[in-house]
Amino acid sequence: MLDIALIRSKPDWVKEQIEKLNDEGALARIDAIVDLDARRRETRTRIETAQAARNKLNRAMGALRGNKRMTDGEKANRAQLAAAALGAEDYEQASRLMAGAEPATPDKHAEMKAAFDELIRELRIMGDEIGEGFRRIEAIEAELKENMLWLPNLPHESAPVFESEDDNIPGPMQGSLREFDFEPKPHWELGPALDIIDFERGVKLSGSRYYTLKGWGARLQRALISFFLDAARENGYTEVYVPNIVHGEMLYGAAQFPKFQDTVFSLADEEKYLIPTAEVGIANLHRGEILEEACLPLQYVAHSPCYRSEKASAGRDVRGIKRVHQFEKVEMFKFATPETSYTELETMTRQAEAICAALDIPYRRLEIVTGDLGFSATKKYDIEMWSPGCGEWLEVSSCSNTEAFQARRAMLRYYPSGTRKTRYLHTLNGSGLATPRVMIAIMENNQQADGSIMIPEALRPYLGGAKRIEAIKN
RNA sequence: GGAGAGGUGGCCGAGUGGUUUAAGGCGAUGGUCUUGAAAACCAUUGUACGGUUCUCCGUACCGCAGGUUAGAAUCCUGUCCUCUCCGCCA
């Protein structure tokens, strides 16, 4: 979520920022938000003032009824006078009467019960009006929140302003392209040929976009996961294992919901969901807590399966394992102060690149332009590996700073050193890395003329020292 | 899955409808005292939102959500979670 105070104070500036994004409809929400916010504050101030008066009167009521120094006649008379004052909406006068501060005439004939009933009747009228007011505030705030939840994050000033993903700015390729003296095959041919990816049986089990890995395929994936986790740990990230099934609230916290609700799988008999990334769990780890600045930045890494329904991508990338409903990913995540978050983003991105370099696969960094930033990032870098079989660049990592966008939703805060004033943390996330696409890149780059695949040196310790996935002899 | 017990501030813990502030303790922070420290004593103590503007004031929050009441931590209903025992299970 954005800072409502920022929208309130600089609505036109916020609109200018949103115009840089490729997000139809977000702009119109700003005017609605400004209006709802003004109504919310006006109503809240008015109703809370009335509530303050009522609280005071209710306490005075108890004090009057229980007062041991007053005669019943005086109490009855005071109740009568107070009820009249309430009828005239003079709450101060009524309070003073009940507290015994104003003179009253003890009246032996006044009926205690009748007098108090009258007073209670006036208080009930007041209470009904206030109740109605709070219901109105709730409705306004629900609408305001709904609008806020649909509003994307604003781009950082350093994000290049262009329209779409076609304008993303590629950096120079790192590493060297393989030179093949044969036509390199795509992984959807290599996998079945080596009997390490079985598409048919995956489809038999679960339908399209599911697959099974077998033998070296399954082992290669497991090796990659271990390698990625070790690399992150060496960079100072604490390894965590998080639930793969979470409350919907966590998905709001990580800013998947409400906008991307239909990309997430939900459970049939519970209000819980399969995570689309381990980021969901990590981002909410410190939900509702207030951290001390001295422990920042907090760095976590987690491996998890990622479940994505991919409804919006029907028909795209239908061959192979580039876009599937279930895959494995190692996710890096940082909680940082606003002062350090952008240098932390650079560090994290370089760490993801270093993993690509260690695997000896040609890769490049893509600077994401404002029109392709997505919903929650202020600045983003993608890292792509070249796949000679598919003939395309594969996104294997995406590193983002969300500033306080997730922090406001999940209540992630810290006390700056020496103060007790809370501040929102900045959160950063980056894949490090995602397995199916890295496997594609390894298979397609390292394929040999005889059909075998060379295993990157960095992975060999995880595979019993094996150097190569041998072709099947016919 | 069955039975029982419970959920109150950073922590422990009191509080069964009201005479305006969730008692008390621990911890933490600041101060006094001291060469320094400890001890003792004094003071302070959460979060969000709104108003005010640098200091306060107000509202809400006692797991969560409803309800009863002029008034709820307290009574009622639902729900979630934790613990203990039993059953099942890797």
Give the contacts of A85 (CB within 8 A, at least 6 positions apart). A91, A93, A94, A97
pLDDT tens-digit series, residues A317-338: 778 899 999 999 999 999 999 9
For helices A187-194 and A216-234, angle between their N-to-C axes, nearest 10 degrees = 120
Residue A220 near residue A344, CB atoms below 8 Å: no
pLDDT of A469 > 80? The answer is yes
H or E stretch at A111: none
Average pLDDT over residues A444-465: 96
Q: What residues pair up with A303 in beta bridges, in sequence order?
A: A330
Say what the ipTM of the complex is.
0.83
pLDDT tens-digit series, residues A149-170: 999 999 999 999 999 899 999 9
Residues 310-329 of chain A sitting with CB below 7 angstroms of strand B:
none
Please report the pLDDT score of residue A107 as a whole number.
67
Within 7 Å: CB of A66 and strand B? yes
Those nucleotides of strand B lying less than 7 Å from any protein Cβ are 18-21, 46-51, 58-60, 69-71
pLDDT of A310 > 70? The answer is yes
Amino acid at A219: R
Residues 93-152 of chain A sitting with CB below 7 angstroms of strand B:
99, 120, 123-124, 126-127
Average pLDDT over residues A223-233: 97
Average pLDDT over residues A127-140: 88
Band of pLDDT at residue A474, cut at 50, 70 and 90: low
Residue A366 near residue A170, CB atoms below 8 Å: yes
Lookup: nucleotide whose C1' is closest to A64 CA: B19
- Separation between Cα atoms, residue A127 and residue A130, nearest integer Å: 5
CA A245 to C1' B1, whole Å: 22
Tell me the whole-structure pTM to 2 decimals.
Answer: 0.91
Average per-residue pLDDT for chain A? 90
Average pLDDT over residues A219-240: 96
pLDDT tens-digit series, residues A91-112: 888 888 887 767 777 766 667 7
CA proximity to A341, closest of A411, A295, A404: A404
For helices A26-66 and A91-99, angle between their N-to-C axes, nearest 10 degrees = 30
**What is the SS3 assignment for A197?**
strand
